[in-house]
Chains A and B, each alone.
Chain A
Amino acid sequence: MTPIEYNICVDNYSKDLYRFAYKTIGSAEEAEDVLQTTFETLWKEHKNVEKDKARSYLFTIVYRRCMDYFRQKKDKHFVEIDEVSPIKVYDNAYEWKELLHKALDNLDLQTRTLILLKDIDGYKYDEIATLTGLSLEQVKVYLHRGRKLLKNHLKSQNAYHDQP
C-alpha cells in the first residue's frame, strides 16, 4: 500500500471504524483514541498491507483495541438483557430505534461487537471469524445468542406490539 492508498483508507474507512468503535466502547473520546492508534499501526505496516485487505485489517485492529480497552478497564458492566429497564411503550420510529440501541448497548462486549460487524459493516460469518480470531462456530453462537437477546429484549418491552 502506498501513502496515497493509505490516505484513501483514512477517507473511506474512518467513519465506519469510528462508529463501530463508538458503539462498541460507548465513549467518543476512547473511540477517537482507538482510531488514532489503529491508523498509526496501519501506517507502520502500510508497506506490508495490501490495499484490498486494508478494510478488514483496520476492523481487526479496531476490534482488538476495543477488547483491550475493556480488559484494561476490567469492565463489569455487562448486563444480561433480561435485567434492563422497566417496560415502556414505544410508539414511534425514533423511540424504536432508541430501544434497539439500548438493547444493543446492554449486550456483552463480544456479542455487541459481532452484531455491529455483521449488521453495520456487513461482514459475513467467516470474515468475522478471521477478523476477530474466533472460530466460525463461535461467531455463529455469539451472533445467534445476541440476536435472540435483542429479540427477547424488544419483546419484553412490548416493542413489537407498538412498533411503527
Chain B
Amino acid sequence: MINHNNIEDYIIDYVSNELSDSETEALFEYLNAHPEFKILLDEYQQTLLNEDDLDDITVPDFSHLKKAEVSNGNSYKYSKWILPFLVMGGALFLYSKFNENEKGKTREIENKIAEVNQNSNSESSLVANNNQASTQTLKVNDSIKNSIHPPHYQRSSPIQGIHVTKEEISTKNNEEIQPILHKEIKKLQPIAGSIKIPVNSLIVYTQLIPESNIPQDYLPEVSNEMEVTIGGRSLDLELKPIKDIKNKLEEVKETINEKVENSHVDPNGIWKIINN
C-alpha cells in the first residue's frame, strides 16, 4: 500500500524500472490523487544516468586481450585429445633417436679404442713383409667403414682387400701404380675407409678426410690424389710415399711377420689382414 511515507521509495523503484505493472498502476493512481508528489517523480527521473552520458570516456583498444583462436569449438575440443598423443609420439621419436645416436657413439668409441690398440699392428700392415708376398697387404680401417655402413653389413661382408703385385711395385713408379690402386680400391665398394698399403718403401693409403686417424709418423709426403666413389659417396684418396719407413719396418718386423703368417682376425675384429 502506497502512502506518504513510502511514496518516495515507490518513485525511486519506478524510475529504476523495478516496479511490476500492478505496482506501477498503483503508483500513478496515488500520484493522480496526490499531485504534489509528481515533482518528486520529475526530480528522480533527472538523477538517472544514461549510457550516452559516458560517451566522453575514451575507451582504449582491448583487442590485445584476445587469445589465439582455433577454427571452431569442435576442433578445439579435438585438439585437447590429440595434443597429448602428439607430445608422447614426439617424445618417443626423440628417445629412439637419442638411443640410436648413443649406440652409434658407443660403437665409434669402441672402434677408436680398438684401433688405438692395434696401432702396432697397423704399423705392421704399413710395412708389409718385403720377402714374403708377391702381393702386398692392404688394410681397411673398419672404424671408418662402420661410420658409413651399418653393422649388419659388416658382419655379412666378405674379407676385402686391395691387391697390388710386387712386380708392379718394383717396375712401376708411383704415378703408374696409382691407376692400379685405383682399380683395386674400387673393388672395395661399397666399403669405405682408410686403406693403408705397404709396398716396400712405398706406402700408399687412402684417406677418408677427415676421418682418417693414421698415426702422424706415417703421414707421407704429398704425391697425388685420386677420387673414387665408394658406396655411392665420393672420397678423396691420397696416395703418398712415406720416408724412413724402413726404419720403422725393422722395429715392428717380428710382429708383422707373425700377423701376416697367422693371417688372423684380431680379437676385436676390427682389423683384417689379408695375406695373399
Are B69 and A3 in touch, CB under 8 angstroms? yes
A108 within 8 Å of B (CB atoms): no
> Given A18-B62, A32-B60, A35-B62: A3 and B46 within 8 A (CB)?
no
Bound: A60/B22 CA distance, A: 31
Bound: A89/B119 CA distance, A: 110
Quick one: closest A residue to B15, CB to CB?
A147
Q: How large is the interface on B (under 10, 10 to 19, 20 to 34, 35 or more residues)?
A: 20 to 34
Bound: A144/B60 CA distance, A: 33
Are B16 and A118 in touch, CB under 8 angstroms? yes
| 8 cross-chain pairs, A with B, having the tightest CB-CB distances, nearest first | A119-B49, A14-B62, A150-B47, A2-B73, A7-B66, A39-B65, A19-B54, A15-B59
Are A10 and B66 in touch, CB under 8 angstroms? yes
Chain B residues, Cβ within 8 Å of A101? 53
Chain A residues, Cβ within 8 Å of B73? 2, 4-5
* Residue-wise interface mask of A (124-140) relative to B, using a CB-CB cutoff of 8 A (1 in contact, 0 not): 11000000000000000
Bound: A134/B215 CA distance, A: 89
Instruction: Indicate which residue in B8, B43, B50, B59 contacts A119 across the interface (CB closer than 8 Å).
Output: B50
Chain B residues, Cβ within 8 Å of A160? 42-43, 46
Bound: A4/B58 CA distance, A: 26
A54 within 8 Å of B (CB atoms): no
**How many residue-residue contacts, CB under 8 A, span A and B?**
93
A-B contact pairs, 29 of them (CB 8 A): A2-B73, A3-B67, A3-B68, A4-B72, A4-B73, A7-B67, A10-B65, A14-B59, A14-B65, A15-B59, A19-B57, A19-B59, A23-B57, A28-B58, A32-B60, A36-B65, A97-B53, A100-B46, A101-B53, A104-B49, A120-B49, A120-B53, A120-B54, A143-B16, A144-B9, A147-B15, A154-B47, A155-B43, A160-B46
Quick one: closest B residue to A4, CB to CB?
B69
A55 within 8 Å of B (CB atoms): no
Chain B residues, Cβ within 8 Å of A104? 49
A163 within 8 Å of B (CB atoms): yes
* Residue-wise interface mask of B (48-89) relative to A, using a CB-CB cutoff of 8 A (1 in contact, 0 not): 111101100111101101111110110010000000000000
Bound: A147/B70 CA distance, A: 47
The main secondary structure of chain B at its interface with chain A is loop
Chain A nearest Cβ from B9, distance in angstroms: 6
Chain A residues, Cβ within 8 Å of B48? 119
Are B12 and A154 in touch, CB under 8 angstroms? no
Are B69 and A143 in touch, CB under 8 angstroms? no
Are A6 and B67 in touch, CB under 8 angstroms? yes
A49 within 8 Å of B (CB atoms): no
Instruction: Indicate which residue in B44, B50, B51 contacts A151 across the interface (CB closer than 8 Å).
Output: B44
Chain B nearest Cβ from A114, distance in angstroms: 10
Bound: A3/B76 CA distance, A: 8
Quick one: closest A residue to B66, CB to CB?
A7
* Residue-wise interface mask of A (2-42) relative to B, using a CB-CB cutoff of 8 A (1 in contact, 0 not): 11111100110011001100110000100010011001000
Bound: A36/B65 CA distance, A: 7
Chain A residues, Cβ within 8 Å of B47? 100, 147, 150-151, 154
Q: Among the interface residues A14, A28, A160, which one has the most CB atoms of the partner chain B within 10 A?
A: A14
Are A147 and B44 in touch, CB under 8 angstroms? yes
Chain A residues, Cβ within 8 Å of B50? 119-120
Bound: A125/B13 CA distance, A: 10
* Residue-wise interface mask of B (103-129) relative to A, using a CB-CB cutoff of 8 A (1 in contact, 0 not): 000000000000000000000000000
Quick one: closest B residue to A7, CB to CB?
B66
B184 within 8 Å of A (CB atoms): no
Bound: A6/B51 CA distance, A: 24
* Residue-wise interface mask of B (1-23) relative to A, using a CB-CB cutoff of 8 A (1 in contact, 0 not): 00000001100100110100000
Instruction: Indicate which residue in A3, A36, A116, A144 contacts B70 across the interface (CB closer than 8 Å).
Output: A3
Chain A nearest Cβ from B79, distance in angstroms: 11
Q: Among the interface residues B42, B60, B66, B72, which one has the most CB atoms of the partner chain A within 10 A?
A: B66
Chain B residues, Cβ within 8 Å of A39? 62, 65
Quick one: closest A residue to B54, CB to CB?
A19
